[in-house]
């Protein structure tokens, strides 16, 4: 067992050795140097449970789903719909029909913006924040361009935090709020339940980007009260190319389809088409069946370990990494002290790309650049940062080695 911190108390968390044995890629080394993978906010590695679920699908039940009468089609359909039930349980959704499988959070947010455009008229307002990923900016810009609505931005302060209350930003014209739960760039954790309560008091539709929250925090959409929530599978130990958009069923049932094709219809003639009920209305074409099944396996895997225990361990890693980075002169950390998942920083006189390249040569994988948050970078007068992001399988020994490699790289670059 490793020791970590949770709410200021020392607690026993997870068995790191057992966890790491579940992830085959972590055993890689480069030129004899063991890999330290600290790019988990971009994508996580995959455990055997997920890899086996993918392989099992293709080796034993590979078939297109729904409508097929043969055994393979029925078994594949059952597995796909069972995964929908698992995901619904993972996020506390009372009705699995509200879970729409997509290709990822970007697809989910585009689906949300395009369909919710039907609620917008000229002069209405859509609120997003200064912390948003491009995937939660561009679709809303397009929605406003199509409808004549106005996109307004909730600013962040110098610590990378949003205001404690959104009420001053809400007007009678505000129709939609789309906010990230955790900033992928700075690790800022936003009080989305509080924000949602304020917005719903004004009758505003709330969309939450939970891409960075899904692998770290417990999600209960019923308690949160939001109208929609989106996340990607690949950031929570599932494959790429799969994600979900959850929405309140009555809202989904009132929205128009996103794309046309098979499965999303009830009846098609050359004169007109009638549409299926959610979630199938929004799942046109052959879906990523294997990805959905593997996402269900990832949810089960996370639950078997426990999100609270994972969060405690990851928090201890970030605290240790902060202490290591504090030993470097001229370093600037971005985001609030109570960050989650990601630790973003810049070093005076050292370019982020050069630093990332030197770290890679030492076996340390980090992310450099604007992290698809160019407006946020502009807000802080920078073009990008170096970001180390943590997962359940990272260790304190890796953090110490990361600190040593950082100091060596900085000394070489200055």
- H or E segment and range at residue 11: strand 9-12
Give the whole-angstrom CA distance, residue 37 versus residue 312.
19
Number of domains in the chain: 2
Task: Give yes or no: residues 20 and 133 share one domain.
Answer: no
pLDDT tens for the chain, 414 residues: list them: 343 434 344 444 589 999 999 999 999 999 899 999 999 999 999 999 999 999 999 999 999 999 888 999 999 999 999 999 999 999 999 999 999 999 999 999 999 999 999 999 999 999 999 999 999 999 999 999 999 999 999 999 999 999 999 999 999 999 999 999 999 999 999 999 999 999 999 999 999 999 999 999 999 999 999 999 999 999 999 999 999 999 999 999 999 998 888 777 778 788 888 787 889 999 989 999 999 999 999 999 999 999 999 999 999 999 999 999 999 999 999 999 999 999 999 999 999 999 999 999 999 999 999 999 999 999 999 999 999 999 999 999 999 999 999 999 999 998
> Does residue 41 fall inside a structural domain?
no
Task: Give yes or no: residues 177 and 136 share one domain.
Answer: yes
Task: Give yes or no: residues 70 and 15 share one domain.
Answer: no
The residues assigned a catalytic role are 372
Task: Give yes or no: residues 102 and 248 share one domain.
Answer: yes
Last residue of a domain, one of 278, 304, 330: 304
> Does residue 39 fall inside a structural domain?
no
Task: Give yes or no: residues 216 and 347 share one domain.
Answer: no
> Does residue 394 fall inside a structural domain?
yes
Question: What pLDDT is attached to residue 260?
Answer: 84
Full domain range(s) for residue 351: 3-34+306-413
Beta-carbon count within 10 A of 305 CB:
18
Domain harbouring 407, CATH code: 3.90.1150.10
> Does residue 104 fall inside a structural domain?
yes
Task: Give yes or no: residues 251 and 314 share one domain.
Answer: no
> Does residue 45 fall inside a structural domain?
no
Task: Give yes or no: residues 90 and 208 share one domain.
Answer: yes
Question: What pLDDT is attached to residue 164?
Answer: 95
Domain harbouring 79, CATH code: 3.40.640.10
Task: Give yes or no: residues 284 and 394 share one domain.
Answer: no
Q: Report CA 339 to chain centroid distance, whole Å.
A: 15
Question: What pLDDT is attached to residue 9?
Answer: 43
Question: What pLDDT is attached to residue 4?
Answer: 40
Q: Are strands 125-129 and 150-154 parallel, antiparallel or unpaired?
A: parallel
Last residue of a domain, one of 244, 273, 304: 304
CB 400 within 8 A of CB 325: no
Q: Is the peptide bond before 279 cis (omega within 30 degrees of 0)?
A: yes
Question: What pLDDT is attached to residue 13?
Answer: 59
> Does residue 232 fall inside a structural domain?
yes
Cα angle for residues 184, 367, 231 (degrees, 5° grid) = 35
Question: What pLDDT is attached to residue 389?
Answer: 98
Task: Give yes or no: residues 129 and 249 share one domain.
Answer: yes
Question: What pLDDT is attached to residue 274?
Answer: 79
Among candidate residues 370, 369, 342, 352, the one with its CA nearest the CA of residue 406: 352
Task: Give yes or no: residues 256 and 162 share one domain.
Answer: yes
Looking from the CA of 312 toward its CB, the CA atoms found within 13 Å total: 21
Task: Give yes or no: residues 110 and 24 share one domain.
Answer: no
> Does residue 95 fall inside a structural domain?
yes
Give the whole-angstrom CA distance, residue 258 versus residue 227.
17
Beta strands in 233-352 (DSSP E): 243-247, 265-268, 273-275, 331-334, 342-347
Task: Give yes or no: residues 246 and 316 share one domain.
Answer: no
Give the whole-angstrom CA distance, residue 342 versus residue 404.
19
> Does residue 56 fall inside a structural domain?
yes
């Amino acid at each position: 067992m490793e020791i970590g911190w949770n709410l200021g108390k020392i607690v026993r968390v997870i068995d790191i050795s057992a966890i790491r044995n579940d992830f085959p890629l972590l055993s890689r080394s480069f030129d004899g140097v063991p890999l330290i993978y600290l790019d988990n906010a971009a994508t996580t590695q995959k455990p055997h449970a997920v890899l086996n679920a993918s392989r099992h699908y293709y080796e034993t039940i590979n078939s297109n789903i729904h409508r097929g009468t043969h055994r393979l089609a029925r078994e594949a359909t059952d597995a796909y719909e069972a995964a929908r039930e698992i995901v619904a349980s993972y996020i506390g959704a009372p009705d699995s029909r509200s879970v729409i499988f997509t290709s990822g959070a970007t697809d989910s947010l585009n689906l949300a913006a395009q369909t919710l455009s039907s609620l917008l008229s000229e002069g209405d307002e859509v609120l997003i924040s200064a912390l948003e990923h491009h995937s939660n900016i561009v679709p809303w810009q397009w929605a406003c361009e199509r409808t004549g609505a106005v996109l307004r931005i909730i600013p962040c302060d110098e610590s990378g935090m949003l205001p404690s209350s959104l009420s001053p930003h809400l007007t009678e014209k505000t129709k939609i709020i789309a906010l990230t739960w955790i900033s992928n760039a700075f690790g800022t954790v936003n009080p989305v339940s509080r924000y949602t309560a304020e917005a719903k008091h004004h009758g505003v539709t709330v969309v939450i980007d939970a891409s960075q929250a899904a692998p770290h925090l417990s999600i209960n959409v019923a308690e949160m009260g939001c109208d929609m929530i989106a996340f990607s599978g690949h950031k929570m130990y599932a494959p790429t190319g799969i994600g979900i958009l959850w929405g309140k069923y009555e809202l989904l049932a009132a929205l128009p389809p996103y794309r046309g094709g098979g499965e999303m219809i009830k009846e098609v003639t050359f004169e007109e088409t009638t549409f299926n009920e959610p979630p199938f209305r929004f799942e046109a074409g052959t879906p990523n069946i294997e990805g959905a099944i593997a996402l269900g396996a990832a949810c089960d895997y996370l639950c078997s370990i426990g999100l609270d225990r994972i969060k405690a361990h990851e928090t201890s890693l970030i605290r240790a990494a902060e202490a290591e980075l504090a030993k470097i002169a001229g370093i600037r950390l971005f985001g609030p002290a109570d960050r989650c998942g990601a630790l973003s920083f810049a070093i005076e006189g050292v370019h982020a790309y050069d630093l990332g390249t030197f770290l890679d040569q030492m076996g340390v994988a980090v992310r450099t650049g604007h992290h698809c948050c160019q407006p946020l970078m502009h807000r802080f007068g920078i073009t990008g940062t170096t970001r180390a992001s943590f997962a359940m399988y990272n260790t304190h020994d890796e953090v110490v080695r990361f600190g040593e490699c950082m100091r060596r790289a900085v000394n070489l670059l200055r």
